[in-house]
């Protein structure tokens, strides 16, 4: 293969300063739409159950991650609302709005009835009081929209 540049030619690199602003809408699909609507309208958390593998995913999905079976709306079932804290962190940055200002706590919560966990905001608890295995409960938004922030955050459960 021949190089198109002669060996003596200098190849200067260049940078392009580009700023893109884009507005878009994302369709969550039938399963995702049912999940977000149930969250908004009924404060119910749904998971997808794979009848072949017997795994339940939260958030719900269209395809089983283990056996790749197609999952549908008929495979949705109510899970939680209580769950277990699997891990947690407090990043050293201020996230964009509408999230709360720093310090922010995040955790992965595995809801009762689910085999997978999901990352979400934690509140009403100090970082020093968090521990793996802590039981958690969701706090729903007062005027929820059909998105994951219909659950404002998780807090330690009052069991």
Average pLDDT over residues 22-48: 90
Q: Do 66 and 50 touch, CB atoms closer than 8 A?
A: yes
The pLDDT assigned to 21 comes to 83
Could you identify the residue written with the tokens 């995913």? 57
Q: Do 13 and 47 touch, CB atoms closer than 8 A?
A: no
In which band, very low, low, confident or very high, does the pLDDT at 26 lie, cut at 50, 70 and 90?
confident
Q: Give, as one character, the DSSP assignment of residue 128.
A: G
Q: What digits encode the pLDDT tens for the residues 75-108?
A: 999 999 999 999 999 987 766 666 665 678 999 9
C-alpha distance from residue 90 to each of 101, 121, 154 (Å):
12, 10, 14
Average pLDDT over residues 116-141: 96
Q: Is the pLDDT assigned to residue 43 strictly greater than 80? A: yes
pTM over 0.85: no
The pLDDT assigned to 106 comes to 93
Could you identify the residue written with the tokens 């719900």? 60
Q: Is the pLDDT assigned to residue 2 strictly greater than 70? A: no
Average pLDDT over residues 136-159: 93
Q: Is the pLDDT assigned to residue 5 strictly greater than 60? A: no
């Amino acid at each position: 293969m021949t190089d198109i540049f002669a060996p003596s030619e200098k190849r200067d690199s260049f940078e392009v300063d580009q700023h893109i602003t884009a507005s878009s809408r994302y369709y969550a699909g039938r399963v995702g739409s049912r999940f977000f609507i149930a969250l908004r309208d009924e404060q119910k958390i749904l998971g997808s159950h794979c009848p072949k593998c017997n795994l339940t995913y939260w958030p719900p999905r269209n395809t089983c991650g283990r056996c790749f079976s197609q999952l549908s709306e008929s495979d949705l079932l109510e899970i939680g609302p209580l769950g277990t804290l699997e891990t947690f962190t407090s990043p050293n940055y201020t996230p964009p709005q509408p999230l709360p200002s720093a310090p922010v706590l995040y955790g992965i919560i595995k809801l009762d009835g689910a085999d997978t966990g999901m990352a979400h905001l934690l509140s009403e608890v100090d970082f020093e009081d968090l521990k793996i295995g802590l039981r958690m409960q969701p706090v729903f938004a007062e005027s929820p929209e059909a998105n994951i922030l219909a659950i404002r955050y998780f807090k330690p459960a009052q069991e």
